[in-house]
Amino acid sequence: MDKIFLHGMRVSTLIGVYDWERQHKQELVFDLDIGVSARSVQHDDIAQTVHYGLVCERLRQDLAARDFLLLESLAEHTAQFLFAAFEPVQWLRIRIVKPGILPAVREVGVEIERNRV
């Protein structure tokens, strides 16, 4: 399996359990590792792999229109969205960071791994 990655992708969405968090969208930092079949490189054809520009565009659009309480729910939604939107995706590692949300803590976040079922 080969991996395509997008690290440090900034995405805005409404997230949090506290009232003050839910007043404005927050900028989160995503690291996505996307597993695709090694066969995708045999044809030099973008249709045989995952177009990372479209991943950014579609994920940002989707998350801008949604809201979440938990980072865990956001991560799971992201996994299901990517599997549904991009057929070549076989495996995902998603790391989402919520920077500067707690005093004296640089970042908090969640990381999940999922396989296409």
Q: Which domain covers residue 6, as residue numbers?
A: 2-115
Q: Which of 35, 74, 98, 114 is catalytic?
A: 98
What percent of the chain has a predicted confidence (pLDDT) above 90?
83
- Classify 19 in phi/psi space as left (phi over 0), alpha (psi -120 to 50) or beta: alpha
Residue 2 φ/ψ, nearest 5 degrees: -100, 160
- The answer, yes or no, to whether residue 47 has pLDDT greater than 90, is no
- The answer, yes or no, to whether residue 40 has pLDDT greater than 80, is no
pLDDT single digits (tens) 71-103:
999 999 999 999 999 999 999 999 999 998 889
Q: How many domains does the chain have?
A: 1
Mean pLDDT of the chain: 94
Q: Which one has a higher pLDDT value, 42 or 61?
A: 61
3 tagged catalytic: no
CATH number at residue 35: 3.30.1130.10
- The answer, yes or no, to whether residue 110 has pLDDT greater than 80, is yes
